[in-house]
Amino acid sequence: VNPGNHGGGNQGGGNHGGGNQGGGNQGGGGSVPTPPPANTGQQVPVPAAVWLFGSGLVGLMGLRRKSKLAV
């Protein structure tokens, strides 16, 4: 019995620990799959949303003013 082969070589980390079962067959070629890169696409155009939101607020303020004048 060779302690080098049984301790960490074949059973511990080689075939059973991370080689074939841990990362070999299931993990994709002996390594942990890397996550996809972060989305580096274009940003959302905020000015258009601000204009739309602002025009809605102005419209609501106009309705409020109109209802106060009618009372």
pLDDT tens, per residue, the chain with 71 residues:
555 554 444 444 444 444 444 444 444 556 788 887 777 777 667 888 899 999 999 999 999 888 887 76
Predicted local distance difference test score (pLDDT) of residue 20: 47
How far, in Å, CA of 55 to CA of 63, rounded? 12
Contact 8, 14 (CB under 8 A): yes
Inside any domain, residue 35: no
Q: Is 15 exposed, middle or buried (0-12, 13-18, 19+ CB in 10 A)?
A: middle
Predicted local distance difference test score (pLDDT) of residue 10: 46
How far, in Å, CA of 52 to CA of 20, rounded? 57
Give me the domain span that covers residue 21.
Answer: 3-29+46-70
Inside any domain, residue 37: no
How far, in Å, CA of 42 to CA of 46, rounded? 12
Inside any domain, residue 61: yes
Inside any domain, residue 60: yes
What is the enclosing helix (H) or strand (E) of 17?
A: none
